[in-house]
Amino acid sequence: MSDEAISQLTKDGVLRAGINLGNALLVTGEAENGDPVGVSPDMARAIAEALGAEVSYVPFKSPGELADAAATGLWDIGLIAAEPSRAETIAFTAAYVEIEATYLVPAGSAIQSVDEVDKDGVRIAVSGRSAYDLYLTRSLEHAELNRATGADATFELFTSGNFDALAGLRPGLLGVAAKLEGSRILDGYFTTVQQAIGTPKANTEGAAFLAAFAEDAKASGMVKGLIEKHGVTGRLSVAPPA
C-alpha cells in the first residue's frame, strides 16, 4: 500500500465511508451509537483498519444520493452498486457481493418469464435511480418504467396503479409476495446487481488499493463470513473473482 493511497482515502486519520441505508440486505440494523450495522459498514471498517485509520460513516437514504455526492467531497469511499452511469465520476472495484434482480407480477398475470416483460403496453413499477432501474433504463425497448423513491413508495405505486410488474431485488420481492395474495416472483433474473466499493475517480492510487482489497476479501472468506454474521445467507452471494 502506498502513502499516496492512504493520503487519497483518509483525512486526518479518518476514512469517511458513504453508506446506502436503502439496501436492507447490506445495512441490517443500527448500533446504539447510531452507526449503521451490516455487511457494507463492516467492509468499510475493515478497509479503514487496513489503512490504519478510523471509520466515519456518512449515511445516505438512497444509492442515487450517495452517487451524486461523489463530486462534493463528502465521502472517501462509497459502498453502492457499480453502474456505467455512476462510473463517470466513481472508480469502482469489482463486485464483492451480487444480488439477483427480477420481477414480481400480480395475481392472474399471464406473464410467465422475465423475457415476456419487455413488451408494448407493459407497465413496470421500479425504485428510481436504483442500480436495477439504471439497468432497465438502458435495456428495455418496449415496456414502460414508472418510478417512485424508495422501496415503500414503490410498493405503494405498484399496488395503487394498474401495473403489470414490480422490479426489485429478489430477496426484497419475497416480502412483497407475502403481502400480495396470488402474486408471483418470476424465475430467473434480468440482471445481477454488483455491489462494489467506489472512490472518486481522481483517487487513482486509492482505487488500486480498494480493487486489491475487494479481491482479497472475497478470496480470504471475509465476505462470506460477513454474510453469515449478518444473517443474509441465501440472499446475498459472494461475487466471483474479477
Structure confidence at residue 170 (pLDDT): 94
pLDDT score recorded for residue 150: 86
Range of the domain at 161: 99-191
105 and 89 in a single domain? The answer is: no
Which pTM was predicted?
0.85
Angle at 104 between CA 99 and CA 106, to 5 degrees: 170
In this structure, the answer to whether residues 218 and 164 fall within a common structural domain is no
Whether residues 156 and 184 share a domain: the answer is: yes
Looking at residue 9, which CATH number applies to its domain?
A: 3.40.190.10
**43-81: b or e for each residue (b if 16 or more CB lie within 10 Å)?**
bbbbbbebbebebebbbbebbbbbbebbeeeebbbbbbb
204 and 150, same structural domain? no
| Number of domains present in the structure of the chain | 2
pLDDT tens digit at each of 242 positions of the chain: 789 999 999 999 999 999 999 899 999 999 999 999 999 999 999 999 999 999 999 999 999 999 999 999 999 999 999 999 999 999 999 999 999 999 999 999 999 999 999 999 999 999 999 999 999 999 999 999 999 998 899 999 999 999 999 999 999 999 999 999 999 999 999 999 999 999 999 999 999 999 999 999 999 999 999 999 999 998 999 999 99
